[in-house]
Structure 1
């Protein structure tokens, strides 16, 4: 008589999704009421639903968020299956790692300079190239049963580099045409919120479209290509243009003087690089860390939890940084870095209870949802928008070097364990907290900033 061994399948409770939705909705809906007293003291301040005297701002914000949501949806459709898509095309584990490493290497060698090129030629063209790259990848996957995995990885990496600065630079440049500076904070957190919701939507759309992976045409690549084409048309129609006064020579001189020559910008760039490294390693390692104890886990059910937590974290921004904020606190960003670092530290200790891991990962994602728009706000304070793209792409270069090193040593040669990589990600977050603390002390000594929010 044979023995049947039942495997334990772990999945989150349904109430957890409802809890995330409830807290996110409450954070958005209750903020105007709790900030009413603060708004009385600051008649010119704004909240997430108060746009003040900028009559045309709601239309601009809606148009931009629609475009940014489309771009996020396209990115999500391009990477929704992760390693499973590479395995479907017959790639081995080592080949998958080398493809990821090739993408990071291209981001390092080419993507580092894309921000500077975007500053000179205009963010409109950078956004168009982002859409064209996804259009190419979607077309190749749709018409070819076995597309070049290396080529798609390189294209997606370049598109990710472009997205890290192009849309933000465009949005801030439009704000500088006459909108109130304090409204930027609202748009920053709404960008993070809409990006996370679009990534969840990409998972839903992908699960709906893909019924049989052996049928190559009706895969997420087809709607991704169509959405990329729609975005190109949308950009061409809605964008009014971007005026430039920089020549290459003048831009180089200004960049050396106002970015490379400013220690505050260096500190901010280091914090951005540490964050990028930690987030990248999290998305690489969360799945193998979760199933490390041998239990079967519905990983597709955890992905929305992480993104929902990120959405929840982004809704905390107006509570701390809006002009009508009842809990305004400049130390909140430092605390968010520390909390995120502590979460990864516990994971690095090789804790393997799935429920606790889910909680720690959700707290980490909530912290990143708070940190990302907070850093965008600091970039507006210290970095001239004419050099914003160059600063962002240059700040990611050290993190790309570290990512490439750990991908090869940990993923390909297996000389470094996953727990060690996770510990390095935690150290990076603690280092970023130190950078923000140093920046705050420097701000007290030199209160002059490029902008005032």
Structure 2
């Protein structure tokens, strides 16, 4: 597989010029990535409260989440897989239209329209977490940057994403105080419109092995599935992603009801809580960057902390955090908050680790197809658990998350190979 410029020595002048071009490219990508993530983050702190204001109960809210995950598994896979042949830039623009439509519908207090909103947002989320990254990896390679520089971008993206999330939480709190629960969603629409403008005017188009003239969904999916089956590393990465992100989305649904139950219904500044959790994510991403830098220039001890081992660290710590939530969350608010922040720290480790491993393992010609296929088990697993939300206590669901992340940790340790 072609990886652009790989491992060889550059003369200082050439390296300086290449580094300068790489930083400009990073800015081009991160400007879009951070804006789109800001549009996503600003919706997070008050989604549960918005639906409460519509007089929806937890079961109804869980059904909306379920709709989104099922949509992501099927519609998201179909559209995301076409990005390799239709063009990743084009599909990023499709994301902007679907996301804008989803947010607009979310502002209407009508349960059928909210279902449609989550169908569109499920599609949008599948594209957000596959096509944007696929565009970056392809463009990084085609511009001739060293493959090992990709981890720099993923680590920096996670770090800055945490900063954006902190600011989004503070802004969401301020907007709600002034204009009510719908205000963050209007702000999100503005940001999504800005993303569409930046992608249209600053990004070039790139493809996998097939061009726009040769669009065949079933062949693209078969090709992606064949690539997955032939690579044990891709399968292990996919299982780890399924277990971690399935747990993460269940956490997103449950963390507000759990903390409200622990505090006996006291009014909480949820935007500020969200911001402090995002600080924990930022610390996790900074930890990843520290290990990455030390592995290159520091003591030999740090050579052991490769991306797969940092991924196992994230999965293992996440398992501990969920067990704390499950067994002490109902009795100790302090323990629950500690567990929340511990889990968010692991997400800061997880995202640059898993992104680096996927960039290394997945071939360019089927990248978007494979990345969307890898999200199907996660979407279906979350949907299955949410379908039974009435049958399980919060502690039981947190326990399931703890078991999933611990199994993921074991599988990466046992089966992933460089």
From 221, 225, 234, give the equivalent of 1:265: 234
Match of 1:392 in 2: 371
State the alpha-carbon separation in 1 of the partners of residues 94 and 387 from structure 2.
Answer: 29
Structure 2's unaligned 5+ residue stretches are: 1-7
What TM-score do you get using the length of structure 2 for normalisation?
A: 0.85
The within-5 A match list for 1:219-258 is 219-246=183-210, 247=214, 248=216, 251=220, 254-258=223-227
State the alpha-carbon separation in 2 of the partners of residues 279 and 131 from structure 1.
Answer: 24
Match of 1:198 in 2: 164
Match of 1:340 in 2: 318
From 43, 63, 69, give the equivalent of 1:104: 69
Compared CA separation, residues 405 and 250, structure 1 to 2 (3 A):
closer
State the alpha-carbon separation in 2 of the partners of residues 45 and 265 from structure 1.
Answer: 35
How far is the alpha carbon of 1:172 from its aligned partner?
A: 0.7
**1:338 and 1:429 in contact (8 A); partners too:** yes
Max Rg structure:
1
Compared CA separation, residues 255 and 392, structure 1 to 2 (3 A):
closer
- 1:305 lines up with 2:276 in the alignment: yes
From 404, 407, 418, give the equivalent of 1:431: 407
Compared CA separation, residues 233 and 325, structure 1 to 2 (3 A):
same
1:416-449 per-residue CA deviation (whole Å, 9 max, x = no partner) reads 1111111111111111112211344x33xxxxxx
From 235, 244, 267, give the equivalent of 1:275: 244
- Over the aligned positions, Cα root-mean-square deviation in angstroms equals 2.7
Match of 2:392 in 1: 416
State the alpha-carbon separation in 2 of the partners of residues 225 and 103 from structure 1.
Answer: 19
What TM-score do you get using the length of structure 1 for normalisation?
A: 0.79
Compared CA separation, residues 227 and 335, structure 1 to 2 (3 A):
closer
State the alpha-carbon separation in 2 of the partners of residues 205 and 138 from structure 1.
Answer: 17
State the alpha-carbon separation in 1 of the partners of residues 46 and 227 from structure 2.
Answer: 41
Match of 2:155 in 1: 189
Is the partner of 1:78 in helix, strand or coil?
Answer: coil
State the alpha-carbon separation in 2 of the partners of residues 283 and 133 from structure 1.
Answer: 22
**1:136 and 1:225 in contact (8 A); partners too:** no
Compared CA separation, residues 222 and 290, structure 1 to 2 (3 A):
closer
State the alpha-carbon separation in 2 of the partners of residues 263 and 392 from structure 1.
Answer: 15
- 1:314 lines up with 2:285 in the alignment: yes
